[in-house]
A and B are shown apart, each in its own frame.
Chain A
């Protein structure tokens, strides 16, 4: 029996890394505490008067993350004053991808003048709990930290000018108007999260 339970627990732990696991739309997200680029520990509950949270798994290096840097800044600048701040999280392992180290996060945040927190998920526990698989990967939470949207920022990674559907903006606008989010889940090409090597 113990063996049986142990094997279930192990399977569950392994499954956390795979796609299709982690939070789904409608699940309540657990708060976390991660180190920001300014050295301070940050939780979602630290953000005052939040009506929701735009949690973005991203990194310093991925060409898709790079393509969205300015769009993530614009999202924050448009919505933070309305109660929806961007919470950017880098989940990549620095041993696998040295340019995604905490020090390089600090350099990038300074260079780009990030107006939002940029947190380091060193243990990768938060990314696993959310079920993030790639960068960028967005989870929009409401004030109760219930997941309301998962996916891409918009429908055109390469060309911001050619975007037809602004998925995250549409979701926030619907949510804050008390309407149903028409497209609660989307997918996009992204860089795989660089998980720690287990052996």
Chain B
């Protein structure tokens, strides 16, 4: 009985080593990123595996994540794919491209509930990126594909 109880722990641990897990988040996590008082700069990128311009700009976020790892910058790639495609599309994409930035899945089927909360200027079109530094009341929102230079300039302004 004792052994059986340990089994899921072992399995979970094993999966974790193989690849980055893609945890599900909900609106409360979006609110946390927008409203906590830390001095962390959050770079929140809303994307989907089917979105051409999103996939095209991912390397810029990966580069930013690498270059600013030690500078209190957190890059979070927030997948808005359909939930039925989480295993087949999202997790396999993360694995295939060995994404190093944190990837999460937004488990909220009703987009109207969170789009304005992320930013009033967001129409719902992808890709969209919000950069926040709450201790500085800094917010910059983009509803467009970004270059590394644009991204880095916004992050530098937030630091």
A169 to chain B, nearest CB (A): 15
Interchain CB contact under 8 A, B122 and A152: no
Given contacts A19-B143, A63-B50, contact A190 B109 (CB under 8 A): no
A67 to chain B, nearest CB (A): 8
When C-beta atoms are compared, the residue in chain A nearest to B112 turns out to be A186
B107 to chain A, nearest CB (A): 11
The residues of A that contact B143 with a CB separation of less than 8 Å are 18-19, 133, 192
0/1 interface trace, chain B 115-131, chain A, CB 8 Å (1 if under): 11000011111110000
The residues of B that contact A186 with a CB separation of less than 8 Å are 112
A99 to chain B, nearest CB (A): 11
User: Is B82's CB within 8 Å of the partner chain A?
Assistant: yes
A195 to chain B, nearest CB (A): 10
The residues of A that contact B121 with a CB separation of less than 8 Å are 19-20
The residues of A that contact B127 with a CB separation of less than 8 Å are 192
The residues of B that contact A188 with a CB separation of less than 8 Å are 111-112, 115, 124
With most chain A CB atoms within 10 A of its CB, the pick from B82, B110, B126, B143 is: B110
Interchain CB contact under 8 A, B126 and A19: no
Report how many residues on chain B are interfacial, defined by Cβ distance under 8 Å: 23
When C-beta atoms are compared, the residue in chain A nearest to B120 turns out to be A20
Given contacts A133-B143, A188-B115, contact A156 B123 (CB under 8 A): no
Interchain CB contact under 8 A, B109 and A192: no
Q: How far is the CA of A158 from the CA of B80 in the complex (A)?
A: 11
B-to-A contact residues, CB < 8 Å: 46, 48, 50-51, 53, 80, 82-84, 109-112, 115-116, 121-127, 143
The 8 A-B pairs at the shortest CB distance, nearest first, are namely: A134-B125, A187-B115, A19-B123, A133-B123, A192-B125, A158-B82, A187-B124, A186-B112
Extra A-B contacts (17), CB below 8 Å, given A133-B125, A189-B126, A191-B51? A18-B143, A20-B121, A63-B48, A133-B123, A134-B126, A151-B112, A152-B111, A152-B124, A155-B109, A156-B109, A157-B82, A158-B109, A159-B109, A187-B115, A188-B111, A189-B111, A193-B125
